[in-house]
């Protein structure tokens, strides 16, 4: 929640949306001004943004993030990286070289707004899969998704 407003400074300007289309995430932060005790409520809030569908020719967002490493050597070899989605944490950027039998965690977090998997509309926010985010968005017309403590 928002907590006691008098303990907090103003919310920052929203961050740049994490995606150009397909449902990105933007955030705002604020600073606790109370020096005597911890402020109640979160210091960061997340919003949905750029929710319009991406063009049909646009590659999958997780694939775009893996492809970023195609032009980087890995153990002295160039690979064509594709998403690996069977790792325990769906919000890590795990990619597998095409035709190989291993995967590598390129980043500890995918970009916010990346789908957790192909089977649901759940998305990753700050490295954590947020379940039923679409339902939360439709309940709140102002589109605040969640607060982070």
How far is 72 from 100, CA to CA, in rounded Å? Answer: 16
| Token reading at 28 | 């705002």
Window from 21-25, 66-70, 134-138 with minimum mean pLDDT: 134-138
Report pLDDT digits (tens) over 35-57. 888 888 888 998 889 989 999 99
Q: Which pairs count as long-range contacts for 139-144, CB under 8 Å and 24+ apart, including other chains?
A: 143/47, 143/48, 144/45, 144/46, 144/47
Handedness of CA 11, 51, 114, 79 (dihedral sign): negative
Q: Check residue 4 and give its pLDDT.
A: 63
Q: For residue 142, what is the DSSP state?
A: T
Token code pair at residue 95: 């990619």
pLDDT bin (cut points 50, 70, 90) of residue 113 is: very high
| Widest distance between CA atoms in the chain | 58
- Full-model pTM: 0.79
């Amino acid at each position: 929640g928002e907590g006691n407003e008098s303990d907090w400074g103003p919310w920052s300007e929203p961050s740049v949306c994490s995606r150009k289309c397909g449902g990105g995430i933007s955030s705002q932060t604020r600073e606790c001004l109370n020096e005597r005790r911890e402020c109640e409520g979160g210091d960061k809030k997340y919003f949905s943004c750029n929710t319009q569908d991406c063009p049909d020719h646009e590659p999958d967002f997780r694939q775009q993030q893996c492809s970023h490493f195609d032009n980087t050597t890995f153990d002295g070899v160039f690979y064509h990286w594709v998403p690996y989605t069977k790792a325990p944490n769906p919000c890590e950027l795990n990619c597998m070289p095409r035709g190989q039998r291993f995967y590598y965690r390129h980043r500890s977090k995918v970009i916010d707004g990346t789908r957790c998997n192909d089977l649901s509309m759940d998305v990753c926010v700050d490295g954590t899969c947020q379940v039923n985010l679409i339902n939360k968005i439709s309940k709140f017309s102002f589109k605040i998704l969640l607060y982070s403590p």
